[in-house]
Amino acid sequence: MAEFGENVRRLRVTKGLTQQGLADQLYVTRQAVSRWEGGSRYPDLMTAKKLAEALDSTMDALLSPEDVSQYARKAPVLESPAAKGAQTAALAFGFSGYLVRLLWFAMGLRDVAGWSGSPVGVVQVLRAALMAALFGYGTLMSIRDRLTPKVAAAIAAAWFGSAALADALSMTPRVGNMAIMLCKALAGGCLVWFFLRDRPARPWPVYAICAGGGVLSLVSAAYRIHMGFGIGGEMGGLLTVNTLVTTSAQLATLCLLGVMARTLYRKRRRAA
């Protein structure tokens, strides 16, 4: 990646451009150009093409084979404006979903589910707070165009890892419960492995995990909605609304992970 930064700096100086002048042509910040030249960041694909044109060069001249191999690892996973917009929306929806769950607890509605004063309630509150913070961070990284595979791996690890830990702390030690907890932990590990590896790997395991997670979310949502109807009244209605919001957020995030896995696989294949 250092070669890419050196090429950008050399061609910029040759054209008599300052970092700010080049940034103005590309509609980016001077700090972004400085990070490219310093070797800490890559531009996304569309910006890299504009950069080559602005420097009267080509992508092949700017990027060495080593740069190409590292591009998929250090560049944002999704690069097209439409995909990045959908990514930001999905993460923001996830943030709002877990924030709603936190508010649900704060309003005392946890009493409806029998969680008041129990270790289960504490675990659920802590997990909702963790996930709200994580999805808020992911939304910020997406807005700043810095959602790299490492950030995606962190989101997946925290999501599935916290779910497995919550099960371990709140479920009774039965074989079925332990199996569910182990599956969640293995799913999180598989996603981390996929997003952090450099060599291309087919994303079918990620698709299977996302599909399985979606099924579990829907089953859990059906149970909670049934519980809400059984309670009735204002509290039952609020429980149902909370369930619909959080489940929709979970499904949107699982779809996002699947799209990111497919995009990353294609990038790695091109770089291999």
Residue 88's pLDDT is what? 92
pLDDT digits (tens, 9 = 90+) for 130-174: 888 989 999 999 998 888 888 889 888 888 888 887 777 766 666
Domain extents for the chain? Answer: 2-74, 81-271
What is the mean pLDDT of the segment spanning 95-108?
Answer: 77
User: How far apart, in whole angstroms, are the C-alpha atoms of residue 144 and residue 132?
Assistant: 18
CA distances from 87 to 71, 78, 139 (A): 20, 8, 8
Among residues 87, 239, 219, 230, the alpha carbon closest in space to that of 152 is found at 87
What is the mean pLDDT of the segment spanning 217-234?
Answer: 80
Residue 112's pLDDT is what? 45
2-74 CATH pick, 1.10.260.40, 2.60.40.4070, 3.40.640.10, 3.40.109.10: 1.10.260.40
User: How far apart, in whole angstroms, are the C-alpha atoms of residue 41 and residue 1?
Assistant: 8
What is the mean pLDDT of the segment spanning 190-213?
Answer: 90
Q: Could you tell me the pTM of the whole model?
A: 0.75
With 90 as the cut, is the pLDDT of residue 107 above it? no
